[in-house]
Chain A
Amino acid sequence: MGIFDYFKSKNTPSSASVAKDRLQIIVAHERTKRQQPDYLPQMQQEIIAVIRKYVQIGNEDVQIQLDNTDDCSVLELNVTLPEQN
């Protein structure tokens, strides 16, 4: 590593810390998905189909998540409606 690399490395994070950040995000995301029941994707599609009868929305506009805390499960449904003109 030359002297110029030394100064450069002060500004940009090391590739290892980039790797760690990326891994922490993807692993956390995959862990929540892993704990979700198998029927969730299917249910999401059906909910989207019902909403589409009334409002035009895209597949990404519906977020669905199941959170388990002790003895209580919360099904969270987030629908982003298109802006009205």
Chain B
Amino acid sequence: MAKIIVVTSGKGGVGKTTSSAAIGTGIALKGHKTVIIDFDVGLRNLDLIMGCERRVVYDFVNVINKEATLSQALIKDKRTPGLFILPASQTRDKDALTTEGVQEVLEDLAKEFDYIICDSPAGIERGAQMALYFADAAIVVTNPEVSSVRDSDRILGILQSKSKRAEDGREPIEEYLLLTRYHPERVALGEMLSVSDVEDILAIPLIGVIPESEAVLKASNQGAPVILDVESEAGQAYIDAVDRLMGEERPLRFLEVQKKSFIKRLLGG
């Protein structure tokens, strides 16, 4: 039985797709067969982040409409064995994602895969609701900033009331907080909400803190998930987050201000 994990946030631009790509890759690297689905119909981007944009032939909506089979639409990742991508449609309207259609595709994928990662679009409209509807677990990506935290709380409300698990009266969706774009320096100066501030407000278990890192932009420029950049802090923080998701204990890293060496300061590093 596959586990369906939605990566969601409410607010846009907080790092949902970056996180979906990194976490999906991280889970596959642990030997679990994983598929990442892009639910952002009309604004496809997961393909770019994963570096497979030129290999997209068929998409999620084609499969729902039976214009293509799943095996035709699934793109096998070239870097990570056991990892596949199901791209979003670029042209069709958002109503293309029907509950029945999505359910059918997820059921078919569940036969083949161990983990299904749903990369949610921003907002709380149909696409976002479809991405979370069938989920077993949710990773709520949040920036330490007021509008992102508020929107995350809104999404938590939707997870608790509008998901299939909530409607069926089953055990609720597991919720995890992933704090991204974290600046330890600004937190130390009192200019940014701290990890514990956000934990206090949202009151869900923390799965990871990803520091603001140049490596994220570099990774998206190159179309390689940042988790593969094992030298970078962001990459290592995602590796920790995946380990915790798999039930392993990992201490939080990269939360302290790093003292810059004199030479580095001199060079403006």
B153 engages A27 (CB within 8 Å)? yes
A16 engages B153 (CB within 8 Å)? no
Question: Known interface pairs A30-B154, A31-B157. Does A23 touch B190 (Cβ–Cβ under 8 Å)?
Answer: no
Return chain B residues, CB-CB under 8 Å to A31: 153, 157
Q: Does B246 contact A (CB under 8 A)?
A: no
Range of interface residues on chain B? 10 to 19
The segment out of B7-15, B167-175, B193-201 that lies at the interface is: B193-201
B201 engages A24 (CB within 8 Å)? yes
B150 engages A16 (CB within 8 Å)? no
Q: From B150, B161, B187, give the contact of A23 (CB < 8 A).
A: B150
* B interface footprint on A11-41 (CB within 8 Å = 1, 0 otherwise): 0001111011011101100110010000000
Q: How many A-B contacts if CB must be within 8 Å?
A: 44
Question: Known interface pairs A9-B190, A14-B190. Does A20 touch B153 (Cβ–Cβ under 8 Å)?
Answer: no
Return chain B residues, CB-CB under 8 Å to A1: 189
Give residues of chain B (183-224) contacting chain A, Cβ–Cβ below 8 Å. 187, 189-194, 197, 200-201
Q: Does B63 contact A (CB under 8 A)?
A: no
A14 engages B150 (CB within 8 Å)? no
B201 engages A20 (CB within 8 Å)? yes
Q: Does B149 contact A (CB under 8 A)?
A: yes
Range of interface residues on chain A? 10 to 19
Nearest CB in chain B to that of A9: its residue: B190
> What CA separation (Å) do A11 and B3 show in the bound complex?
51
* A interface footprint on B138-163 (CB within 8 Å = 1, 0 otherwise): 00000001100110011001000100
- Can you sample 22 A-B contacts with CB below 8 Å? A1-B189, A9-B190, A16-B187, A16-B190, A16-B191, A16-B194, A16-B197, A17-B190, A19-B145, A19-B146, A19-B197, A20-B200, A20-B201, A23-B146, A23-B150, A23-B193, A24-B200, A26-B150, A27-B150, A27-B153, A30-B154, A31-B157
A16 engages B193 (CB within 8 Å)? yes
Add 16 more A-B contacts to A23-B146, A26-B150 (CB < 8 A).
Answer: A9-B190, A14-B191, A15-B191, A19-B145, A19-B193, A19-B197, A20-B200, A20-B201, A23-B149, A23-B193, A23-B201, A24-B200, A24-B201, A27-B153, A27-B201, A34-B157
> What CA separation (Å) do A20 and B187 show in the bound complex?
12
> What CA separation (Å) do A19 and B146 show in the bound complex?
6
Q: Which 9 A-B pairs have the closest CB atoms?
A: A14-B190, A20-B197, A34-B157, A27-B153, A16-B190, A19-B146, A23-B201, A16-B193, A23-B149
The dominant DSSP class at the A interface is helix
> What CA separation (Å) do A1 and B257 show in the bound complex?
15
> What CA separation (Å) do A27 and B198 show in the bound complex?
12
Nearest CB in chain A to that of B145: its residue: A19
> What CA separation (Å) do A81 and B205 show in the bound complex?
46
Nearest CB in chain A to that of B154: its residue: A30
> What CA separation (Å) do A18 and B1 show in the bound complex?
46
From residue B153, how far is it (CB to closest CB) to chain A in Å? 5
Nearest CB in chain B to that of A17: its residue: B190
From residue A25, how far is it (CB to closest CB) to chain B in Å? 10
Name the residue among A23, A24, A30 with the largest chain B CB count within 10 angstroms.
A23
A20 engages B193 (CB within 8 Å)? yes
> What CA separation (Å) do A17 and B150 show in the bound complex?
15
Nearest CB in chain A to that of B189: its residue: A1
